[in-house]
Amino acid sequence: MQARKYEYRDVWMNGAIVPQEQANVPIFTQTAQRGANVYEGIRAYWNAEKQNLYIWKLDAHIKRLFQSMKIMRMTTPYTFDEYKQACIDWCRANAFREDVHFRLVVYLGDGGPNGVKMFKPGEIEFGAFITGGPRPHKEALENGKHFCVSSWRRISDDVMPPRVKAGANYQNSRLASIEARTNGYDDAIILGRDGTVAEATGSTIMIVRDGDLITSPVTGGILESITRKAVLKMFERSHNREPQERPVDRTEIYIADEVFCCGSAEEVTPIISVDRIEIGDGKPGPITRRLQGIYFEAARGMSPDYVPELTPVYA
């Protein structure tokens, strides 16, 4: 087996902090057998000056977790506040003093020998865990990434809703990502059934044309990204210009002045080519750079405007 790329630490599992070796989900569970889970990928940023770790947009993540559970007809094993406290407890238990990425997962447990039709709430147990670890600043944030347009299409709201952050949805992303990397790209843009841009395998796609920031609408077969919403607001505030949420054609990407992707994992990452076509002058653009700066200042607790969006981990 390959060495793990990221360093994992102790795990929060169903109410207790346990060493990673003891954090096991049985093979009898629906999460192990059918990918039946929903989750959130969340960042916490270390502020060296304030000597504190800040979880970025924690309330928004837990709100979306509840929305995912609602759509997937799942019963929550914990309350909103208990999930929130669990995230803080997990960070504290690992005594992080660096940037961190973690996943809060709610899963379907053991349902016996029943088939896929089963498991209405009350017929199966649910569990939850938090795992993750340090995630240092990536080089691609500075230099940008090379994308392609995938030959795979995005799952849709009437098949398996991308609005739900379900583990199973990432099999669609995985196919696109493997195809992209096999062909020498960093990642892929996935089109929806209508041929317009949906999103990337794990992030939102944004383009800049003549000073306008444009991205696909939340009804365009995408995850309702928390970073997307934040970046649109950041653009509006900083550029005094309303961003556009409308369908984006594939060819608009090629002729855009700037393209970037954003998300909890990708943060704000420039895309410098798509299908080997250079975007703009082939370098990260000025609006992308400016939004990157605003994003990191906000998430790291350096901007008073965004303090309400942060959950401090240490007292």
Helix residue ranges, H only, the chain: 30-34, 58-71, 80-93, 140-143, 170-182, 226-239, 250-255, 286-299
The reply on whether position 204 binds ligand PLP by CB under 6 A is yes
Between residue 296 and residue 315, which ones bind ligand PLP under the rule CB under 6 A?
A: none
Q: Which of 8, 17, 25, 41 binds ligand PLP (CB under 6 A)?
A: 41
Two tokens at 68? 């995912």
- Is there binding between residue 68 and ligand PLP (CB under 6 A)? no
204-209/126-134 β-pairing: unpaired
Residue of this chain nearest to ligand PLP (CB atom): 263
294 binds ligand PLP, rule: CB under 6 A? no
Q: Is 264 in the site for ligand PLP (CB under 6 A)?
A: yes
* Dist. CA 154–CA 246, nearest whole Å: 17
Which residue in the set 30, 227, 273, 292 belongs to the binding site for ligand PLP (CB under 6 A)? Answer: 227
Neighbours of 240 (CB within 10 A): 7
CA of 6: how far to CAs of 132, 218, 272, in Å?
A: 8, 31, 26
Q: Which residue bears the tokens 């304030």? A: 50
Binding-site string for ligand PLP from residue 162 to residue 181, where x marks contact by CB under 6 A and - marks none: -----------x--------
Q: Does 57 qualify as catalytic in the annotation?
A: no
Catalytic residue among 57, 84, 145, 165, which? Answer: 165
Which residue in the set 221, 263, 270, 280 belongs to the binding site for ligand PLP (CB under 6 A)? 263
Taking the C-alpha atoms of residue 65 and residue 67, their distance in angstroms, rounded to an integer, is: 5
Residue 131 or 203: the one with the smaller Cβ distance to ligand PLP is: 203
Show which residues are catalytic.
Answer: 165
Contact residues: ligand PLP, CB under 6 A: 41, 173, 199, 202-204, 223, 225-228, 263-265
